């Protein structure tokens, strides 16, 4: 009996000694305060004269072949631990000096995203950590040059979340890193909140980086990204959709056209407002859409797809410009509905035509064909390139039905 116990003891000792070497290593332990938490990344193109800024970190100049093409300037916004206080009190930590500067913005140049990050790491003591990367801002001109490298790097990096946002900026992307809006402790979070609140208010479709990637990958659909602009008070405006064709940005929409996009896709909640000018009179009313619904149909005419889009909009009346209009009259209401329906049809058609000009099917009509009419797809399309060609020639019809539901607290 004693012997058995002893040998058991020896055995467990052996197992323990096998495990013991494991205890020596904490390979991946990296305390949260030792990480440089990257909250936002901006990517700009670089003008020729700035290329000399580059450090020789990943390659010595003229020895190792560098990737073709222009270089990029990558800026990061890093949270400064200690400047953002724990807990709700102490009003932004402004008391302890530093003027409420909660983040640190640095930028470097590089041939590729990873190259730039390595150059940056060379200048930083803490390890860059992308687990909390929330916003990637890409400048317009770089987006137009192509996003393959950017998409590939962030997709491959396991730290980056799919719920992050990628936005295209009007002008310099780095400006967004440096902007310090008053509402949020952390500037990047302000940009993110702007977009996310826009979704909740029905002003923007859900378009996380993951959704953008999925859309870009799809054969019958192109990706789109929010197009943002920095205003004078360092606030951010969503000023449209950036159209992509493959990985290249090809155009921009107007802000209200996002509404058209949302209506065509039937995305809820609805949030856009528009003027309706009743024909024959000079009366104008402002309406707000509250609910959208859309239905898509496709037929084939001479081998070309013809899409019919039925949109149903519920709207509320928000204001009117003069007292002469009596909203108690059902006829007036009907007329408002009709006018808005026509306007919406026109608007939708125009927006689709615009996307056709860019060869950019951001709506996913192609996906609809692939899913519902696989016969046609298999015979005629089968690739993203082919669909871009067909999309250009596709014909559309938008039929909107508008219902006024409520007129507010005022009776007339």
Contacts with other proteins, residue ranges (CB under 8 A): 15, 18-19, 22-23, 25-33, 35, 37, 39, 79, 81-87, 129, 131-132, 134, 155, 158-159, 161-163, 185-186, 189, 206, 208, 210-211, 213-215, 217-219, 364, 367-368, 370-372, 374, 377-378, 382
Q: Please, which residue, 183 or 321, has the CB nearer to other proteins?
A: 183
Closest distance of CB 206 from other proteins, Å: 7
> What CA–CA distance (Å, rounded) separates 398 from 106?
48
Q: Give yes or no for a contact between 251 and 358, defined as CB atoms under 8 angstroms apart.
A: yes
Q: State the nearest-atom distance from the C-beta of 149 to other proteins, in Å.
A: 15
DSSP state of 354: H
Phi–psi pair at 129, nearest 5 degrees: -125, 120
Helix axes 148-156, 113-122, angle to 10 degrees: 60
Q: Tell me whether residue 94 or residue 364 sits nearer to other proteins (CB atom).
A: 364
Q: How far is the CB of 40 from other proteins (least distance, A)?
A: 11
Residue 183, class by beta-carbon neighbours within 10 Å (0-12 exposed, 13-18 middle, 19+ buried)? exposed
**Least distance to other proteins, CB of residue 78, Å:** 10
Q: How far is the CB of 384 from other proteins (least distance, A)?
A: 8
SS3 content of the chain, % helix, strand, coil (to 5): 40, 30, 35
Instruction: Give how far Cα 185 sits from Cα of 102, 159, 179, 190, Å.
Output: 7, 23, 12, 8
* CB of 304 closer than 8 Å to CB of 276: no
- 313, 259 Cβ separation under 8 angstroms: no
State the Cα–Cα distance between residues 133 and 350, nearest whole angstrom: 36
Collapsed DSSP state (helix, strand, coil) of residue 280: coil
Compute the least distance from the CB of residue 160 to other proteins, in Å.
9
Measured from the CB atom, is 204 or 347 closer to other proteins? 204
Cβ 115 vs Cβ 23: under 8 Å: no
Nearer to other proteins, 135 or 404 (CB): 135
Q: Which is nearer to other proteins, 45 or 102 (CB)?
A: 102
Question: Based on CB atoms, which residue is closest to other proteins, 185 or 306?
Answer: 185
Q: Which tokens sit at 126?
A: 């803490």
Question: Closer CB to other proteins, residue 35 or residue 203?
Answer: 35
CB of 367 to other proteins, least distance (A): 5
């Amino acid at each position: 009996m004693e012997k058995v116990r002893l040998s058991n003891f020896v055995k467990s000792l052996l197992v323990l000694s096998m495990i013991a070497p494991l205890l020596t290593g904490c390979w991946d332990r990296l305390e949260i305060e030792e990480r440089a938490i990257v909250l936002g990344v901006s990517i700009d193109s670089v003008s020729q004269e700035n290329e000399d800024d580059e450090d020789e970190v990943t390659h010595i100049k003229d020895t190792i072949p560098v990737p073709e093409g222009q270089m990029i300037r990558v800026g990061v916004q890093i949270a400064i631990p200690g400047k953002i206080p724990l807990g709700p009190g102490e009003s932004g930590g402004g008391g302890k000096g530093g003027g409420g500067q909660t983040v640190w913005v640095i930028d470097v140049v590089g041939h590729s995203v990873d190259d730039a990050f390595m150059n940056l790491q060379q200048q930083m003591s803490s390890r860059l950590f992308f687990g909390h990367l929330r916003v990637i801002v890409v400048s317009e001109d770089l987006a137009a040059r192509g996003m393959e490298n950017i998409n590939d790097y962030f997709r491959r990096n396991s730290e980056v979340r799919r719920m992050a946002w990628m936005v295209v900026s009007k002008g310099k992307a780095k400006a967004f890193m440096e902007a310090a809006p008053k509402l949020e402790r952390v500037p990047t979070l302000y940009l993110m909140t702007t977009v996310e609140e826009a979704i909740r208010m029905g002003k923007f479709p859900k378009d996380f980086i993951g959704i953008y990637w999925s859309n870009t990958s799809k054969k019958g659909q192109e990706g789109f990204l929010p197009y943002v602009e920095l205003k004078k008070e360092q606030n951010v405006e969503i000023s449209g959709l950036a159209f992509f064709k493959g990985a290249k940005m090809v155009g921009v929409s107007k802000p209200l056209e996002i509404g058209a996009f949302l209506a065509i896709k039937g995305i809820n909640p609805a949030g856009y407002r528009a003027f309706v000018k009743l024909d024959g009179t000079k009366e104008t009313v402002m309406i707000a859409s509250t609910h959208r619904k859309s239905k898509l149909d496709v037929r084939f005419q001479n081998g070309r797809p013809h899409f019919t889009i039925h949109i149903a909009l519920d709207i509320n009346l928000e204001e009117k410009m003069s007292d002469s209009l009596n909203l108690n009259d059902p006829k007036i209401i009907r007329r408002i509905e009709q006018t808005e329906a026509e306007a919406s049809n026109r608007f939708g058609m125009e927006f689709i035509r615009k996307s056709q000009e860019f060869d950019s099917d951001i709506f996913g009509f192609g996906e609809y064909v692939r899913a519902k009419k696989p016969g046609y797809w298999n015979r005629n399309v089968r690739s993203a390139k082919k669909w871009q060609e067909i999309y250009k020639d596709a014909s559309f019809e938008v039929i909107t039905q508008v219902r006024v539901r409520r007129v507010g607290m005022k009776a007339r």
